[in-house]
Structure 1
Amino acid sequence: MALKATIYKADLNIANMDSHHYADYQLTLALHPSETIERLMVRILAFARFADENLQFTKDLFETDEPALWQKDLTGQLEQWIELGQPSEDKLKKASARCKHVVVVTYGQQVDEWWKRNNKVKTLSNVEVWQLAPETTSQLEKLCERTMQLQLNVMDGEWTLLNDHEQVDVSWTKLH
């Protein structure tokens, strides 16, 4: 018998004083049995970084042709493609050809090695690569609950994600 996904709900309040984006989002995420809590929380952070009413979580662990998140316009055309982790150069080239804006949110201990191996990514003009610091992702698990009330504050480039009990300083580095 196959294991089923676990549903998580997050009420995310964003107060981004740098970009003047203030909004509340009700997110429903399915944690696949092969997915870690760390990746689930990185998905929430990726959503928060590019938050928009039309940004959606996809079935990326089931559908290899889909990213973790995408945004489509009213006609169904892809506007934004957001990958997590360390996707292949081929997948990024295909995404780059299909979409106006491609983003990779990378994290983990192997980021430097992945970045060195994937030189062609640097030639793709519509691809942005962001790295989350290992200290950030290792602390995210303490914010995770089946039903989460999360507040993201951004001011002067400083990101803080918190709930009623804990807080995590989020450190981003733009690689490309």
Structure 2
Amino acid sequence: MATKATVYKVQLQIADMDRHYYQDHSLTVAQHPSETEERLMVRVLAFILNASETLHFSKGLSDEGEPELWDKSLNGDINLWVEFGQSDEKWLRKASGRAKHVKLYAYGGRSVPNWWKQIQSSLTRYNNLQVWEIPEEQVNALALLAARNLQLQCNISDKQIWLSNSSDSLMIEPVLLKDFS
């Protein structure tokens, strides 16, 4: 029998002073059996950083034709395609061809600089691609906040993200590796 996904109920209170976005969101996020809590929480962080009324998680990790997180217009155009980890150039080319904007949130500690060194030059031609690195110690601290019923207060100002629950808080500062051209 196949292992089922673990369901997380996430309540977010977002105050994003950088984008002037202030909203509460109730999310149901499925953790694939092969997915770590670090990756799950990076997905939640990406939602926080790009939150809108039309931003949604897709069906799952195994759907090769869709991003895991996206913002689609009413006519079906993809405004934002969000990827996670250390994607290859082929996948990012596909995303860049189908969406107005693509954001990649890379994580993985010491392997990120090596991955970036290998792929950086091939990504310069994608004007609609933005790449961020989430530092390893911040990803690890983020994973410690994971809970099946999670309530987070999220404050964003000057590219600093402050997350807090009822007992802990942490600051996350993503590093911009490549901006939109």
**Match for 1:50: what amino acid?**
N
- Alignment pair present for 1:111 and 2:91: no
* 1:1-176 to 2 correspondences below 5 Å: 1-109=1-109, 110-118=111-119, 119-176=121-178
Identical amino acids, percent of aligned pairs: 45
Q: Residue by residue, what CA displacement relative to the aligned partner does 1:25-53 show, whole Å, maximum 9, x if unpaired?
A: 00110001000000110000000111011
Q: In the comparison of the two structures, how many residue pairs are matched? A: 176
Residues 142, 166 of structure 1: 8 Å contact kept:
no
- Runs of 4+ displaced beyond 2 Å: 155-158
What is the alpha-carbon distance in structure 1 between the residues aligned to residue 84 and residue 92 of structure 2? 11
**Match for 1:22: what amino acid?**
Y
The alpha carbon displacement at 1:8 in A equals 0.2
The alpha carbon displacement at 1:60 in A equals 4.4
Moved more, 118-127 or 7-16: 118-127
Question: Over aligned residue pairs, what C-alpha RMSD do you find?
Answer: 1.1
**Match for 1:113: what amino acid?**
N
**Match for 1:41: what amino acid?**
M
Q: Residue by residue, what CA displacement relative to the aligned partner does 1:43-93 show, whole Å, maximum 9, x if unpaired?
A: 000001110111111134111222220111001111110000011100111
**Match for 1:126: what amino acid?**
N
What is the alpha-carbon distance in structure 1 between the residues aligned to residue 64 and residue 154 of structure 2? 30
Residues 159, 173 of structure 2: 8 Å contact kept:
no
Residues 69, 83 of structure 1: 8 Å contact kept:
yes
Q: TM-score by structure 2 length?
A: 0.93
Ranges in structure 2 where 5+ consecutive residues have no aligned partner:
none
Ranges in structure 1 where 5+ consecutive residues have no aligned partner:
none
